[in-house]
Every structure is written in C-alpha cells, then in structure tokens.
Amino acid sequence: MAVRQRGKKLYIYFRVNGKLIWLPMDDGLTQIEVEQIEQALLQAIKLESYFWLAPAAKEACIRLFIQQKWEFPKDLGSRPQLPTPMLTLHEAAELFLKDPEIKDHPSRWRYEACILNLEDGLGENRPVKEIRVPNLKLYRTQRLAEGFKPATVNWEMSTLSGIFRVLLENEQVEMNPVRMLRRLSTKSGERQVYLSREDVELVSAECPDWFQDMIWIAYYTGMRRGEIMNLRRHQVNLVKRIITLSPKSTKEGAWKRVPLRHEVLSILEAALKVQAIGCDAVLTVKDRSGVRPVGKEAAKNPWKRALDALGWEQPQPHYHDLRATWKTNARRSGMHSELEMEIMGHETRGRSVHERYGRISDQELLKAVDLMTFSHGDTEVLVVGDFRRKDSKRKLTNQASEAMRKKLKNVADSKKIANLGGSGESAERFLLTNLASVL
C-alpha cells in the first residue's frame, strides 16, 4: 500500500489478487493523516479485524468495501444504505430500446429519432421522475412553435409514453404522465394526395438509382417505406410473385402478402443479383465504399431534393403519398375493397365480422393487381385549407417531351422511339426517363 497524489487529490493505492485499487480520500485530510489511515487499513485487512479503527479510518474502510463490492465484515457494522441514483431520460430510453417488443420493431428507427428530440427538449440527464404534465405541455407548445406538425409531436409523446410503460413494467416509476395528456388534433394537417404516373417519373428521374427502385416498388405495391427498406431475400418469392411479411415486419403486427406486378419483378430480380456482405437485405446502395444496405437517414433525403430540383411548389407530396396513390389507383381500377385491404395490410378493427372471415388466395391477389391501371388523372395535393392541382407539372411534362423531340433529330433516336411500339404513352415514357439529358 502507498499514498499518491493525483492532481489535487490524495489516494491510497494497493494491489489485491493482482488488481490495482485506488481509494480516494477526503479533501480535508493532510498527507500525514492519509498515511496514518493507510497504515491502519493495512493492519485491519491483515488481521481481518476492524472494530478498533478510528472514525476517519473506519469511514475509509467502509468506502473501500462498498467500492469493491466485497462481503461486509460484521465488526464494521451494517452496510450503509446508499441513495439510489435517479434514472435519467437517456438511461430510460436505453431500457426502452432494449425491450423485446421494441428491439426488432419495424418503427424502431422512428422511435430513435423521437428520442433524440425528446432528449434535446426535455434534457437527456433529466430524472424521469421529475417529468410532469406541465413539462410535457411546455415541450409540445415549443415544438409546435418551431413549426413541427401535430402528428410529429404526437409521435414523440407516444414514444415517451412507451418509455414510461417499460419503466412501469420494471417498477422504476409509479405513473405515466403522458397518459394524462390529450393527443393533439391532426386535422389541420390532413392530406389527400394523388400522384400522376408522369409526375412520379419526373421525381424518380431526379433520384439516385437505388432510390428509384424504392419509388417504383412503393408505386406498384403500396408498401410502406420501412417495409421496403427492411425487405429480406427470404421474404421475396419471384416464382410465385409474392412478398410475405411477418408480424415483426409490419406496422399492424400481422402477416401480410404483397402480390407483385411484372414491373416490380424486374426491379427485384436486378436487386437480388447484388448482395451486401453479411446482410440479406434486398435493396442496397452501391458506391465507391462498396455495397451496403439502404440507411434510414439516407432514404429520407432524395425525395425532397428531387422535388426542390423540379421547383415543385408547396404543398409538396411526400414519399408516403405513393401508398395513398396506390390505394386510389386500386379503387379507380375497380379492385374489391377486401382485396385492397389485404394487400395494404390495414388493421381489421374497422372491418365487419363478415369481412374478417374467408381465405383470400395468392391467385386472387395477383389477378387483382394485374388488372390495375395507373392513369387516373392529374396530380392533386390536398392539405386542409390549401388545395392545389399540379397542372404546372403537367405543363412541365409536355414542355420536356417537346424539348426531347426537338433534340432527337437523328434517325437512330427516332427509330428508338418507334421501336417502343408506336404508342404515344410509350414514347412519352422513353422521353421522361431521359429528361436529365435535356433539362
């Protein structure tokens, strides 16, 4: 044993079973007093007798046994009850993310994003027992003032409620203050959106190749972004033309079958030829760094950048509106509502008992999507209080097509258009996919 000074603090250090132990001493003690305590501790540990220690040496000995979690000797008295440290919001969030129900949840990425905002607004080191209803009301008010939508704030409150649920299950808290709040009304942000195929092609042309695949899979299947990003090879059956998602892979927590049109098959066939090392993700990003799965943050950016590049005025459509567009196309194509709900995977709470019974075969689903058509009008973006038809996009499409036709003066390019079948729609598709070289 010996006494050493580290910075302005004195320590007693010694080795036990090869382990070096440093015991900090109180700041008010002098070098001589610490050396006397060190000699007393050395003698007490050697004799395994502690009752005779002076108060300062006894206090140091107690701290040593607590620090090293050694069995407490009887002649030191009963082990003192140390105050339990208060659980912080950050520590509580880590417990929440480790919960078995959340660990592999398809919305985990969104929970993580909400937690970052909650820690920033409420304080990551704030004890959860100090979070009260007034704090939450103030947090919501500030978030709305910053321009965030009620639906976003509701997601954050829902995440915080989930954190408190896990703490309640582990008997870490006695109440969940979030349950005392009413959800914010989202009526002011309600949206009704339909995207024309021509405008989807325009947006897609402005995006990287890997994100174009995400756009067209969503457009032809109605799948959610998370379902597409997390798609694994064993879930795709190209022969049967069916994607099968387990309850862990869907928002509803139920099995889901997605029939595949031939347009999607070609995308998936190409995607399955490339595989990231150590990962069975279907969609990957290939660049100078190699091949890797699509990242959650990366998938948020291309859509917005494409709209800005096209000069799309507000209100702008969201990537999720591709799902709403699929639903509209399904209805306008005459698809039966039960088949539409089966493919989209909507929850069954609002369905009648009659609708919940009866097995729908894969062939019925495939036939339904094969009969779908995708030209049902111009783009329309409806946000409560602000309704706009995207006629400007239709004009942009026509102008781009005309510019392309003027550019294609040589015979070879003219034959390329003719070989598409002669239809105006096919020619227009070829023109749209080559817009980047014109605009």
As a whole number, the mean pLDDT across the chain is: 79
Between CA 335 and CA 374 the distance in angstroms is 13
Say which residues have a Cβ less than 8 Å from residue 259's Cβ, sequence separation at least 6.
Answer: 221, 241, 242, 343, 362, 365, 366, 368, 369
CA pair distance 199, 205, nearest whole angstrom: 10
Q: CB-based contacts of 50: which residues, under 8 Å, 6+ apart? A: 44, 58, 61, 73, 75, 76
Report the 3 state secondary structure along the chain.
CEEEEECCEEEEEEEECCEEEEEECCCCCCHHHHHHHHHHHHHHHHHCCCCCCCHHHHHHHHHHHHHHCCCCCHHHCCCCCCCCCCCEHHHHHHHHHHCHHHHCCCCHHHHHHHHHHHHHHHHCCCEHHHCCHHHHHHHHHHHHHCCCCHHHHHHHHHHHHHHHHHHHHCCCCCCCHHHHCCCCCCHHHCEEEECCHHHHHHHHHCCCHHHHHHHHHHHHHCCCHHHHHCCEHHHEECCCCEEEECHHHCCCCCCEEEECCHHHHHHHHHHHCCCCCCCCECCEEEECCEEEECCCCHHHHHHHHHHHHCCCCCCCCCCCHHHHHHHHHHHHCCCCHHHHHHHHCCCCCCCCHHHHCCCCCHHHHHHHHHCCCCCCCCCEEEECCEEEECHHHHHHHHHHHHHHHHHCCCHHHHHHHHCCCCCHHHHHHHHHHCHHHCC
What's the whole-number mean pLDDT along residues 88-116? 87
On the question of pLDDT at 25 being above 90, the answer is no
How does residue 298 score in pLDDT terms, banded at 50, 70 and 90? low
Residue 118: pLDDT band (50, 70, 90) is: very high
More confident residue, 80 or 211: 211
CA atoms within 13 A on the CB side of 44: 22
d(CA 273, CA 251): 28
Q: What is the pLDDT of residues 355-401, one digit of tens each?
A: 555 678 889 898 999 999 988 888 888 766 554 444 444 444 444 44
- Predicted confidence (pLDDT) at residue 160 exceeds the cutoff of 90: yes
CB burial class (10 A; 0-12, 13-18, 19+) of residue 337? Answer: exposed
Phi, psi of 54 (to 5 degrees): -70, 160
Strand partners, 2: 13
pLDDT digits (tens, 9 = 90+) for 307-356: 888 888 888 888 889 998 999 999 999 998 888 888 887 655 455 444 55
Instruction: Give this prediction's pTM.
Output: 0.56
Nearest to 13 by CA among 64, 49, 69: 64
d(CA 317, CA 53) in angstroms, rounded, equals: 76
Q: 221 CB contacts (<8 Å, ≥6 apart)? A: 243, 258, 259, 260, 261, 264, 326, 343
CB atoms within 10 A of CB 157: 21
All structural domains of the chain: 2-76 (no CATH), 89-189 (1.10.150.130), 192-385 (1.10.443.10), 390-439 (no CATH)
222 dihedral zone (left: phi>0; alpha: psi -120 to 50; beta) = left
Query: What pLDDT score was predicted for residue 393?
Result: 46
Backbone φ and ψ for 388, nearest 5 degrees, come out as -140, 135
Given a cut of 60, is residue 170 above it in pLDDT? Answer: yes
* pLDDT for residue 210 is more than 60: yes
